[in-house]
Every structure is written in structure tokens, then in C-alpha cells.
Amino acid sequence: MTYVRDVAALARKDLLLELRARETLPAMLLFVLATLVAFRFALPADASERASVGLLWVAILFTALLGITRAFIPEREQRVLDGLVLAPVDRSAIWLGKVLATLAFLGAAELVALPAFGLFFEGVTWNTVAAVVLADVGISAVGAILAAMAAAGRARELLFPILFLPLSLPILVGGVGAAVGDDPARYLAFLALYDGVFAILAWASFEYVVTE
Amino acid sequence: MIRARGLERRYGAKRVLRGVDFEVERGGFTLVTGKNGSGKTTLLRLVAGLAAPTAGELEVDGERGQLGFLGHEPLVYRELTAIENLRLYARLYRVPEPRERIGMLLERFALWDARNDRTGSYSRGMLQRLALCRALLHEPELLLLDEPYSGLDTEGAELLDRELAERRGKVTFLVATHYPERLAPLASGALAL
Amino acid sequence: MSVAVAAAVVLVAGVALALLWAPEDDDQGPSQRIFYLHVPIALTAYAGFGWGAWKALRLLWTGGQRYDLESYTAIHMGTIFGTLTLVTGSIWARTSWGVWWSWGERQLVLFLILFLFYAAYFMLRFSLPDGPGRARISAVYALFGVVLIPISFLAIRLAENFIHPVVFTRDGPQMSGDMFFTFCVCLAGMLLLAGTLYLNELAGKRLDLRLRELREALELG
């Protein structure tokens, strides 16, 4: 399947770029830790479990923001994206490659964030882990295409958070609900629905974002 | 191989290309001339498929994989080495025997010694030569070159002369240039914008 | 122009019916009458976003540049009416329950999310240079918006369990015949108003574009 090989080549390229730049991953790890500490100070001691889970999700979303904002910067600097668009690859493969690389970085950040949360606040349930996994897919799928849109214009670092946050609100609901709701399965199913719907939309429409 | 009629490209109210008609036959070599802002770059981008015309017709025989493009930018990742960049493109263009082909091109353009350096450290001339490697990597049948001599020193320019002469007649060329004199001997047609 | 006249007539009739003729609600009293404005405004906002998404789809499908202005203007209408929804909803909440905002009020929360989303649409457009690229990106974003509407609605319903339980209920489709008639007249009036503003703005923008095209053609002789 040449499509799979194209995606693999592109995802490898994205991972290589980020690791070479050596900025994004350490920044994300440090940021999520610092944010959790800040939240610990911001929350009164007798706050409920529900409140602290919400903060975990805010920390994850903001860390994702930090990581994804720069997602298409290498391509937009000097129009390198044109090189990929010229190639006989499906444009959606470019998006999928970015999604996979983003998932890797988000996953790495969460491997730090979740234990830290368990340490600073209280234990993380399996429902939360499942919700984080599902949410990562949605965050990466939506984030990748929005990053491409933001990168096409000016003020790209300012614009991406503004585009991303409204679309991420349902993820927030799903994630927090899976942890504190009575019926976590409903929230997990909702996250899966969000992922499915927006991933398909992003996959199908990415072509139109990178061509004129 | 390329047929255009009434080609137009506008950005909002501004028209960059207006009613351009031309044809390039297979194996032909057409020069595109015009002052800055006349739309040479836009024309090449349209033929390359990077942008769609807003009016008029454009037919290009051949798919994306048979097209080689050299723009104002080298289209290489600064954080990656020359070899890594070319390897990526070789995979995307499904180049057979990529290692040999990449090695051969890097040698021909005198970049072999710098192959493992990040392209961010390259000089302007080196980037231009690497961009030419990228454009020729998959042995395209149609080459679109936007001011290919820009940034090249004498040695680089001679390397380019050789590559163009070798392909003359076998590959179709559409070349935008400010200095048509150098390419006039090779040219079979011209388009002034 | 006939649309504008129709809009004026129907809207005035609708408002008159709402204020004077429709029967008074037993539970909520006179403040319930703002419902006849609030819900039609909300539905008109949805219509604006939906129309904008439709035109966006047409743009991506056919590449016709004229759909860009149509999509943009429709979304502009949707955003204006969306903002009005928030305002009228807030007023209704104040008159009914004494609070300016309620997280238990699904429509309000939904429109807040949509407001954030479509405000970002304008920022996105503003940051992009004019041309087919901007048209395409705006169109894709508009499609995301129309998908976000049902997803957000679902999310809000799910969130009620832990954000704010629904303690207030209000008139839904169980309206009496007279109320329903009044509602329909107001809805038609709002849609006609939105249509008038839409056609008006579209014509103005098209004229502006034509003017600039002519000016540019003249400058280059």
C-alpha cells in the first residue's frame, strides 16, 4: 500500500524534524509539569476530586497547544510545503503524517503528566487513561489541520490557540465526564464519536487547505 | 504537452495573469520572460498544479510524478541533511534505486562532500544546486524552472548548462528567466508576459 | 427590494402579535414573550451558519470564487444573529430567573461556543491574504463549524451531569395553537430580515469588488 508507505515516510520526517529541533518536546514536558504545580497552588486544599480532574484536562489541552502550534512551521518557512504538495502523494497523507507525529509527542508528554498528576493530586483511573488516549486522537486530528490553516497566514502563533480552543471544548467535556461522570462509557463513546467525525472531515478536507 | 488559453489568475481584485495563451510541444524548450511582477512565477505555479487558474483553460499532459519544479525557494528542510531531504523526496516520488540516484546527482552537482550537513548551513549557491537535484531526482518529463541560474556561481552555472543541454529534446522545458540570452541557443519558443 | 419590504411587514406583524395578541403564558408571565424573539433569532443564526457551510461546500466542489463572498456573508449573518441570541437569551434569563447567565441553559452555552468558533473564523480570514487560498481555507473552517453544532449540543447535554443540572424548564413545542402561530410569524420575519441583510451586504461587497477590479484594470491601462 503506497499510501501507508507515504504516511510512514512523512511521519518519520516529522518526528525527525521535531527531535532535531530539540525544542518542542522538552518544552512540553516542562510546561505540563509546571502547569500542574501551578494548579496545585491555585486549588484550595479541600477542593473536590472533580475540580482537580478538570485541571488535568486543561493542562493537557494547553500542553497540546504548545506542541501543535509549531506543527507546520518548518513547512511554511520558505514554502517547503510546496515540495510535498508537488509530489504524487495524496495530500491527506501529509495530514496523517503530522497526526501520527503529534500523537507521539502528546503521548510522551502524558507519560509524564499522568503520573505527576497522580503524585500531586490523586490517583488516575483507567477511565481517565482511556479518555486521554481517545482525546489525543481528536486533539491531533483537529490540531493538525488547524495548524496548517493558521500557518498559511500571519500571526500564526497567536491564531492557532484561538482556532483550537473552541473545537477542543467537547473533548474537555468528554474527558472530565469519563473521570467523574456516573456512566463513563457514554463519555468515552462520545470522545470516539468526536474523533471519528472530525478525523474524517479533516482527512477529506486537508487537500483544500494546502492547495490554492 | 502544455496548452493554455485565456489563462487568468487573480487574488481578490488583483489580476496577476491576464488572458495568457500559449502552447509548448513535447520536447520543446520555451522561455518565459517579463519584468518583475509580470506573473512568471505564478504561471509556473499554475502549470505545476500548485495553484488553480481562476479563469481560462490549462492542460498539462502528465501527472504530478512526471513533473519537476524549481521555484524561488529550494523546498528543502533546513533541519535535515541533503541526503535526508533527497531520501524523503525519493520515497515520495517512488524513485527506483534511490541511493544510487541520489549519490549520482549529489556528485554531479558537487554536493557529495556536504551531503551529511544540515541544509540550514548551506550557502545560497549550494541550496540552488540541491534544489536542482531535487527537481531532477525522479527524471521528470516536464521541467518547470523559475530563474534557475539565480544564486549560482560560474561553476554552478556551468553544471546547470550541462544538465540542460543533456536533456534538451528529451524533456519538455518551461523556463522563466531574466536573462534569456544564456538559454537562447537551447530555446525553441518564447513567451513574453 | 421586495424582500426588504416583506421582511419589514412580517417582522412588525410578528412583534405586534408577540406583544399584543399571543396568549399570556401561565407559568412565566409576560416575560415569556421574549421567547418569540429569542428562539427565531437562534434558528436564524443556525440557518446562517448552515447556508454558509452549504456555500462553502459549493466552493470546494466547483471552485467558483463567487461562493466565497456568499459563504462569508452568510456566516456574518449567523454570527450577528448568534450574538443577538446570546443577548436575548440573557435578557430572558434575567427576567425569568433573575440571573444574567445560566450554565444550565443549553442554547446559551451552545451559542457561546459557536460565538467563540465563528469569531475565530473572522480572525482567520483577516490573517490570510485575499485570494483563492483564503476562500478555500475559510470554506473548510465553515464546514468544521457546521459539524461542531451537533457535537457541541451533545457535549452540553452530557456536561449537564457535572457542570450545572437543569433546574429550569421552559416552553418547548407544547405551545398552544395561537402561540405557535405567533412563533411562526416571528420566525418568518427573522428569516426574511436575515435574508434582506444578507442580500444587501452581498450586493455591497460585490460592488466593492467590481470597483476594485475596474480600478486595477484602469491603472494598468
Query: Which residue of B10, B16, B58 to mutate against C (max C Cβ within 10 Å)?
Result: B10
- Burial of residue A126 (CB within 10 Å: 0-12, 13-18, 19+) is exposed
Between A122 and B97, the higher pLDDT residue? B97
| Secondary structure letter of residue A128 according to DSSP | H
CB nearest B13 (choices: C63, C132, C209)? C209
Window A:45-74, CB contacts with B under 8 Å: 74
Q: Which chains touch A (3 or more CB pairs under 8 A)?
A: B, C
Q: Which residues of C touch B14 (CB under 8 A)?
A: 130, 216
Q: How confident is the model at residue A156 (pLDDT cuts 50, 70, 90)?
A: confident
Window B:60-79, CB contacts with A under 8 Å: 63-65, 67, 69, 71, 73-79
Between A9 and A124, the higher pLDDT residue? A9
Handedness of CA A80, A85, A88, A89 (dihedral sign): positive
Q: Do B80 and A17 touch (CB under 8 A)?
A: yes
Question: How many C-alpha atoms does B105 have within 13 Å on its Cβ side?
Answer: 22
Q: What pLDDT, on the 0 to 100 scale, is given for residue B83?
A: 95
Q: What pLDDT, on the 0 to 100 scale, is given for residue C102?
A: 80
Q: What pLDDT, on the 0 to 100 scale, is given for residue A71?
A: 78
Mean of the per-residue pLDDT values of chain B: 91
B137 backbone dihedrals φ, ψ, rounded to 5°: -50, -45
Q: What pLDDT, on the 0 to 100 scale, is given for residue C164?
A: 62
- Mean pLDDT over residues A5-23, rounded? 89
Whether the per-residue pLDDT at C20 is higher than 80: the answer is no
Long-range contact pairs involving C209-212 (C-beta distance under 8 Å, separation at least 24): C209/B12, C209/B13, C209/C69, C212/B12, C212/B13
Domain-wise residue ranges, chain B? 1-62+141-193, 76-139
Residues A144, A150: Cα–Cα separation, whole Å: 10
Q: How confident is the model at residue A161 (pLDDT cuts 50, 70, 90)?
A: very high
Q: Which residues of C touch B11 (CB under 8 A)?
A: 129-132
Query: Which residue of A72, A208, A209, A211 to mutate against C (max C Cβ within 10 Å)?
Result: A208
- pTM assigned to the model: 0.92
Whether the per-residue pLDDT at B137 is higher than 90: the answer is yes
Q: Which residues of C touch B42 (CB under 8 A)?
A: none
Q: What pLDDT, on the 0 to 100 scale, is given for residue A43?
A: 82
Q: What pLDDT, on the 0 to 100 scale, is given for residue C172?
A: 54
Q: How confident is the model at residue C170 (pLDDT cuts 50, 70, 90)?
A: low
Please state which CATH class domain B1-62+141-193 belongs to.
alpha beta
A85 touches chain B (CB under 8 A): yes
Whether the per-residue pLDDT at C167 is higher than 60: the answer is no
Whether the per-residue pLDDT at C171 is higher than 70: the answer is no
- Mean pLDDT over residues A182-194, rounded? 94
Q: Do B52 and A82 touch (CB under 8 A)?
A: no
pLDDT above 90 covers what percent of chain B? 58
Task: Report pLDDT digits (tens) over B108-135.
Answer: 999 999 999 999 999 999 999 999 999 9
Best mean pLDDT range from A186-195, B28-37, C90-99: A186-195
Q: How confident is the model at residue C1 (pLDDT cuts 50, 70, 90)?
A: confident
Q: Which chains touch B (3 or more CB pairs under 8 A)?
A: A, C
Size of interface A-C (CB pairs under 8 A): 93
Q: Which chain A residue's Cα is nearest to B90?
A: A87
Handedness of CA C71, C73, C74, C78 (dihedral sign): positive
Best mean pLDDT range from B114-123, C126-135, C139-148, C194-203: C139-148
Q: How far is the alpha carbon of B38 from chain C, nearest alpha carbon, in Å? A: 12
Whether the per-residue pLDDT at A67 is higher than 90: the answer is no
Q: How confident is the model at residue C28 (pLDDT cuts 50, 70, 90)?
A: low
Q: Which residues of C touch B13 (CB under 8 A)?
A: 130, 209, 212-213, 215-216
Between C36 and B45, the higher pLDDT residue? B45
Between B20 and B103, the higher pLDDT residue? B103
Q: Which residues of B touch C212 (CB under 8 A)?
A: 12-13
Whether the per-residue pLDDT at B89 is higher than 70: the answer is yes
ipTM above 0.90? Answer: yes
Provide the 3-class DSSP secondary structure of residue C25. coil
Q: What pLDDT, on the 0 to 100 scale, is given for residue A160?
A: 93
Q: Do B74 and A74 touch (CB under 8 A)?
A: no
CB-based contact A66:A32 (threshold 8 Å): no
Q: What pLDDT, on the 0 to 100 scale, is given for residue C82?
A: 96
Q: Which residues of B touch A86 (CB under 8 A)?
A: 48-50, 64, 67, 69, 75
Task: Report pLDDT digits (tens) over B47-77.
Answer: 999 988 888 889 998 888 999 999 999 999 9
Whether the per-residue pLDDT at C138 is higher than 90: the answer is yes
**Residue A95: what residue type?**
W
CB nearest B13 (choices: C63, C132, C213)? C213
CB nearest B88 (choices: A13, A74, A88)? A13
Q: How far is the alpha carbon of B186 from chain A, nearest alpha carbon, in Å? A: 26
- Mean pLDDT over residues C31-50, rounded? 89
Q: Do B64 and A86 touch (CB under 8 A)?
A: yes
> Cell numbers at residue A8, please?
510512514
Q: Which residues of C touch B10 (CB under 8 A)?
A: 131
Task: Report pLDDT digits (tens) over A128-149.
Answer: 999 999 999 999 999 999 999 9
Q: How confident is the model at residue C27 (pLDDT cuts 50, 70, 90)?
A: low
The B14-24 sheet, strands edge to edge: B14-24, B2-11, B55-60
